[in-house]
Structure formats: C-alpha cells, structure tokens
C-alpha cells in the first residue's frame, strides 16, 4: 500500500476532484468508511456516549459525517464545534472522535485548540482520530506542539508517511485506511514509490504448491557463519530457512562449532570448515566455500561468525567471487566496515543491519540514524546499489531505485536474542525460492514480524524466544497463500 506525504495526498484529492468526483462525495466516503471502522472496533456502540469534536476544515467535515452515521446507532452522540466551545464536557463520555485538525496543519498548535487537545488527552477516554491525530505532522510523525493521543486512527485514502514512523506510535494507536474512491489513474499520476507493507502486498508473492514437486524445486540455501562460542546463531538461521519453505539448507561453519551441534537441528546439512584460532572460520576455507556456493541458489553470511582478519578476508572473497544473491547480517556486516568490501555491493546483495551496525557502516551516530531512519536507509541503498533492511521498530526496506517500504508487523516481545538470525534465515530462504532481492526482503520482514505477532498473541510480549518465532513461520506464510 503506497505511502504519501501531506502534499502528495492533497494533490491526489485535487486530481480526483478535477477528474469529476465531487469533494462532497469524497467526504461522505471518508466519514462513512470511518464509521464502519469504528463500529468494527466498538461493536456495542448502542451503550456508548460519543463526543465528536470538529474543527473548521475538511477534517471537521469528515467528523460531521461520522456524527450523522452514529445517530440512532450510538447511545448518545454529541457534536462539538471547536469554534463555538472552549471547554468540552468529556467526563461523561465513553468515546471521543477527534476531527479537529487534518493533514493541512502547518503551524504549531496553540490557543483554544491546544487547550482542547490537552483536555482530550487528560480525559483518558477511548479516542478515535480521523485521518491523523490532531496536531501530529503527517510527514515527520512528530507533534506540532501538542497532539492527540488516539487509540485508533482511520486515515483517508492512503496512509501518510508520518503515521507509520516510530515517533508517531504513541499518538496513532491502531491504524486503519479508509478507501475514499481515489481512481487508479490518479495514483499512477503521482508516481508514488514508498509503501506500507501489508498482507495484501505480500499475498501475490505466494501461491499454493503443486503436488508433483520435490525438495529441489524450492531452493538450496547456504549459510556461512558460527563460531566455537556462538554456534546457535547460524543454526537458528538455518532452521528458519527450512520453516520458510526452502527445500535444502546447508550450513558451512567452523569445525569447532560443528562439534557442539544440538540434536534439534537434524534436518540441516553441514559442511565443517577449518577453524581460526579465535574459533571462527579460517580464511583457508574460502576455496571450499566458493565451491559450495556454485551449487547454491542463495547465500547468507554472518550469523555468529565473529569479526577478525580471517572472517573479513572470507567476506570480501565471497563478495568478490560469487554472483548468487546474498544476505549479509551480523558479523557479515561488521566485516564490511567502511573499507573496500563495501564497494563490492550490488543489487544482488541484501544487508540487514540493526541501528548499531548501520552506524558502523555509515559513520553516522546511532542517534542520527534513529532520528532519520527512512533517509539513512534510502541514502545507503541508492549510494551502494543494494537492498538494505534497517531493523527495529517499523523495520525499513530500502532499494537501489530510492523506494522505501515500512513494515507493519512485529512487536516489543521480539527484542530478544536471535531474532535477527531468524529474519536472515527467512529472507535467504525466499531468495532461494526465486523471489527477487526486493520481494524477499519485503516479504521476509513482514512474515518474520507476523510470526512474532502470532506468538505474542498467545504468550504476551515478554519471554518470547527466537525459536518460538521459527515454529510460527509456516503459519504466518499460510495466512497469505492465495
């Protein structure tokens, strides 16, 4: 689903109206669609007292439509025009519909409007914002002085980019999109690139498997990593590759790590390599690993590998001498650093850094990256002609052509050891199954996050294990197989 800036959304509205759809129709569609969403989230509206707080502009007009549809459905409906009241009797209300400011706000909120926003927030009532929480910037996701903290936001037409940024999460609550009837030709005229990754975007990438296929039809993955002290990371990546649908997975790991393999990883195949004295793979293994690569459909390098002179030489050799699609994660990224190897990236490479690793790759501070995650990811992917997955809350996928995809899945319970290794396994598995680097990264982050959401739905957001998520991957995929 495409993401838009405030200006792009205004242009979409203008083009739609110029194309013959009256603004009154768009407003009716917006209000009716928002009402339907509210009824889905609050099925017992008949017992609720609802306050609809309307401003002067189109957002207020949407609110008036919602109020009209609520008549006879909600227990009580009270419409408040901000131009006519200075204080709202919210204490006896159950639900507040926020239709004060839309995306047209271009100044800091002050005066009576600021007082009303503060009153809404102090009320601790369940808040439903129309298009955007009033006072929030549609482009940055930051409050413009003061912003409503909503439980649910129904945004009109297309999601605004600010709504899906981490900064906006405390204000937006759950996010839903209302189809107001923007024609396809208008979207094409806007030439949009950035997207919000949803299930409907992933679904076309997966189809049911034919009964006469065999394991060779679903790709052979090679994972390169592990060390004597960290054998688990590459094994979890391997298992998640199998759970994501790969037919075959081979793990190239140091012989010291091979001796520590758990019996829980029986389905994986192993190619032990000479160990460096640190316990990682020796650079002497490069010729043998290159020979293995020639028979593989996709490669992932880095989980648990360690970063030293030998592993750096190994990573540089693989980047220089292999053409198969490759995922670089963890120590695979740390071995890149800001040296010659980074110049060997191309559109067939996927990098999956967390903010700290991104800092080491770019020389920017972690704080600077977190302040501008989209800009940092987009710039790196364009500059180095690769696909970049910047992990974290609202994981971002950036592509060489400048497009950015913001993930909609995942939860706080996934902030635990091994989750990045699981993501690496999913992405390389999808590569081996024939998806492009862009599609494998986009689908991989959504599936990984959705598997985590399914686990959190059962266990809560504390105590999740990476291995819990691995076992949920097939069920997350099943949700989108058409």
Report the pLDDT value the prediction gives residue 85, as an integer from 0 to 100: 73
Report the pLDDT value the prediction gives residue 91, as an integer from 0 to 100: 86
Nearest to 325 by CA among 411, 213, 220, 233: 220
Taking the C-alpha atoms of residue 248 and residue 1, their distance in angstroms, rounded to an integer, is 33
Report the pLDDT value the prediction gives residue 468, as an integer from 0 to 100: 98
Taking the C-alpha atoms of residue 164 and residue 375, their distance in angstroms, rounded to an integer, is 14
DSSP run (H or E) holding 446 = helix 437-459
Taking the C-alpha atoms of residue 298 and residue 320, their distance in angstroms, rounded to an integer, is 15
Taking the C-alpha atoms of residue 128 and residue 13, their distance in angstroms, rounded to an integer, is 23
Report whether pLDDT(367) > 70: yes
pTM of this prediction exceeds 0.75: yes
According to DSSP, residue 85 is labeled -
Q: pLDDT digit string (tens) for 30-61?
A: 999 999 999 999 999 999 999 999 998 999 99
Report whether pLDDT(263) > 80: no
Taking the C-alpha atoms of residue 119 and residue 384, their distance in angstroms, rounded to an integer, is 49
Report the pLDDT value the prediction gives residue 33, as an integer from 0 to 100: 98
Lowest mean pLDDT segment, chosen from 188-197, 341-350, 430-439: 341-350
Report the pLDDT value the prediction gives residue 352, as an integer from 0 to 100: 98
Report whether pLDDT(308) > 70: yes
Residues 203-478, CATH architecture: 3-Layer(aba) Sandwich (3.40)
Mean pLDDT of 190-218: 95
Tell me if residue 253 falls in helix, strand or coil.
Answer: strand
Report the pLDDT value the prediction gives residue 262, as an integer from 0 to 100: 79
Report whether pLDDT(83) > 90: no
Tell me if residue 388 falls in helix, strand or coil.
Answer: strand
Strands, sheet with 269-273, edge to edge from the N-terminal-most edge strand: 195-197, 404-407, 396-398, 387-390, 349-351, 326-328, 298-301, 220-224, 248-254, 269-273
Report whether pLDDT(186) > 70: yes
Report the pLDDT value the prediction gives residue 37, as an integer from 0 to 100: 98
Going from N- to C-terminal start, the domains of the chain cover: 6-192, 203-478
Burial 240-257 (b: 16+ CB within 10 A, else e): bbbbbbbbbbbbbbbebb
Report the pLDDT value the prediction gives residue 225, as an integer from 0 to 100: 97
In the CATH hierarchy, which top-level class contains the domain 6-192? alpha beta
Taking the C-alpha atoms of residue 26 and residue 32, their distance in angstroms, rounded to an integer, is 10
- Identity of the highest mean pLDDT range in 106-110, 276-280, 468-472: 468-472
Report the pLDDT value the prediction gives residue 341, as an integer from 0 to 100: 65
Mean pLDDT of the chain, nearest integer: 95
Report whether pLDDT(264) > 90: no
Report whether pLDDT(342) > 80: no
Report whether pLDDT(339) > 80: no
């Amino acid at each position: 689903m495409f993401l838009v800036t405030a200006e792009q959304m205004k242009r979409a509205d203008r083009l739609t109206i110029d194309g013959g759809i009256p603004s009154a129709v768009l407003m009716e569609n917006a209000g009716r669609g928002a009402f339907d969403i509210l009824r889905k989230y609050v099925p017992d509206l008949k017992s609720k007292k609802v306050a609809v707080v309307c401003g002067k502009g189109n957002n207020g007009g949407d609110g008036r439509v919602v109020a009209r549809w609520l008549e006879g459905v909600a227990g009580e409906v009270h419409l408040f025009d901000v131009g006519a009241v200075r204080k709202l009797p919210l204490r006896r209300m159950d639900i507040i519909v926020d239709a004060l400011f839309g995306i047209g706000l271009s100044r800091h909120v002050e005066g009576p409007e600021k007082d009303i926003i503060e009153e809404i927030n102090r009320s601790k009532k369940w808040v439903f914002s129309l298009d955007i929480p009033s006072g929030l910037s549609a482009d940055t996701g930051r409050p413009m002085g003061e912003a409503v903290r909503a439980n649910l936001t129904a945004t009109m037409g297309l999601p605004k980019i600010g709504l899906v940024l981490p900064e906006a999460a405390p204000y937006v609550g759950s996010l839903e999109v209302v189809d107001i009837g923007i024609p396809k030709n208008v979207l094409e005229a806007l030439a949009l690139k950035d997207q919000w990754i949803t299930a409907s975007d992933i679904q076309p990438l997966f189809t049911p498997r034919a009964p006469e296929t065999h394991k060779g039809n679903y790709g052979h993955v090679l994972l390169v990593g592990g060390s004597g002290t960290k054998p688990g990371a590459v094994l979890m990546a391997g298992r998640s590759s199998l759970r994501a649908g790969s037919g075959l997975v081979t793990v190239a790991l140091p012989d010291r790590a091979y001796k520590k393999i758990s019996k829980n990883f029986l389905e994986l195949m192993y190619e032990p390599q000479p160990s460096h004295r640190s316990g990682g793979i020796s650079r002497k293994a490069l010729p043998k690993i290159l020979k293995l690569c020639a028979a593989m459909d996709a490669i992932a390098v880095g989980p648990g590998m360690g970063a030293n002179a030998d592993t750096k030489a190994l990573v540089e050799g693989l980047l220089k001498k292999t053409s198969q699609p490759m995922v670089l994660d963890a120590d695979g990224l740390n071995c890149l650093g800001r040296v010659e190897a980074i110049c060997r990236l191309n559109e067939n490479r996927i990098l999956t850094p967390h903010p700290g690793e991104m800092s080491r790759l770019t020389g920017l501070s972690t704080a600077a990256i977190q302040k501008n995650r989209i800009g940092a990811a987009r710039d790196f992917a364009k500059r180095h002609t690769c696909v970049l997955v910047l992990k974290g809350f609202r994981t971002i996928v950036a592509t060489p052509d400048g497009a950015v995809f913001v993930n909609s899945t995942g939860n706080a319970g996934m902030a635990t050891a091994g989750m990045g290794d699981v993501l690496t396994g999913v992405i390389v598995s999808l590569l081996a199954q024939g998806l492009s680097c862009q599609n494998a990264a986009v689908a991989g982050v959504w599936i990984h996050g959705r598997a985590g959401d399914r686990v959190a739905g059962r266990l809560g957001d504390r105590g999740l294990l990476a291995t819990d998520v691995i076992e949920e991957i097939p069920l997350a995929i099943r949700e989108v197989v058409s």
